[in-house]
Amino acid sequence: MNLPNALTLLRVLLIPVFIFFLSSYTPFDIPLETRAVIATCIFFAASMTDWLDGYIARSTGQITKLGKLFDPIADKLLTSSALILLVSLHGQVPAWIAIVIIGREFAVTGLRAAASSAGHVIPAAEGGKAKMVFQTIAIIALLLDIGVKFAYFDVFWIGTVALWISMILALTSGVQYFVEYWDKIGLSGEGGES
Residue 19 domain flag = yes
Residue 188 domain flag = no
Output the domain CATH number for residue 48: 1.20.120.1760
pLDDT, tens digit, 9 for 90 and up, residues 135-182:
999 999 999 998 887 778 889 999 999 999 999 999 998 888 787 777
Residue 27 domain flag = yes
Residue 192 domain flag = no
Q: Count of domains in the chain?
A: 1
Domain with 58, as residue range(s), is 3-181
pTM over cut 0.75: yes
Residue 187 domain flag = no
Residue 194 domain flag = no
Residue 191 domain flag = no
Total length of the chain: 194
Instruction: Count Cα atoms within 13 angstroms, Cβ side, for 173.
Output: 23
Residue 186 domain flag = no
Q: Is 135 exposed, middle or buried (0-12, 13-18, 19+ CB in 10 A)?
A: buried
For the residues 80-106, what does the mean pLDDT come to? 91
